[in-house]
Amino acid sequence: MISGKYGETDIHIGDTIRVHSKVVEGEKTRIQVFEGILISLRGRGENKTFTVRKIGAGGIGVERTWPLDAKSIDKIEVKKKNSGVRRSKLYYLRDLSGREAVRV
């Protein structure tokens, strides 16, 4: 359970989440959505970070890490809960390909 800026957002390792982050291009600001599997939560307090992994175009894995208190994050929404994960870090997904890499 993560408390703070996002209220009581209940995210766990293995969940499929969508991170809405603000991107500044020149003088314009837009919201960019990154959807993937939460593979890592680390740190504590204000140093807490999380890593999300998705399979991009051409089957290439893309990972992105944010500080939990980042001002660039607009909101975090949980698309799918996963209760069958028995690991605290899902780094083994990096070695998998295809459907195996997105099923936890």
Which tens digit of pLDDT belongs to each residue from 30-46? Answer: 999 999 999 999 999 88
Max CA distance (Å), the chain: 45
What is the token pair recorded at 70?
Answer: 């980042």
| Surface-to-core class of residue 41, CB atoms within 10 Å of its CB (0-12 exposed, 13-18 middle, 19+ buried) | middle
Give the torsion sign (CA, 75, 81, 83, 86). Answer: negative
Q: What is the pLDDT of residues 42-63, one digit of tens each?
A: 999 889 999 999 998 888 899 9
Confidence at residue 100, expressed as pLDDT on a 0 to 100 scale: 83
Determine how many CB atoms are found less than 10 A away from the CB of residue 92: 10
Confidence of residue 4 (pLDDT cuts 50, 70, 90): very low
Query: In whole angstroms, what separates CA 18 from the centre of its chain?
Result: 7
Q: Does domain 2-101 have CATH number 2.30.30.790?
A: yes
Residues in the chain: 104
Confidence of residue 24 (pLDDT cuts 50, 70, 90): very high
Q: What is the pTM of this model?
A: 0.86
Strands 49-55 and 28-42: antiparallel
Domain spans of the chain?
A: 2-101
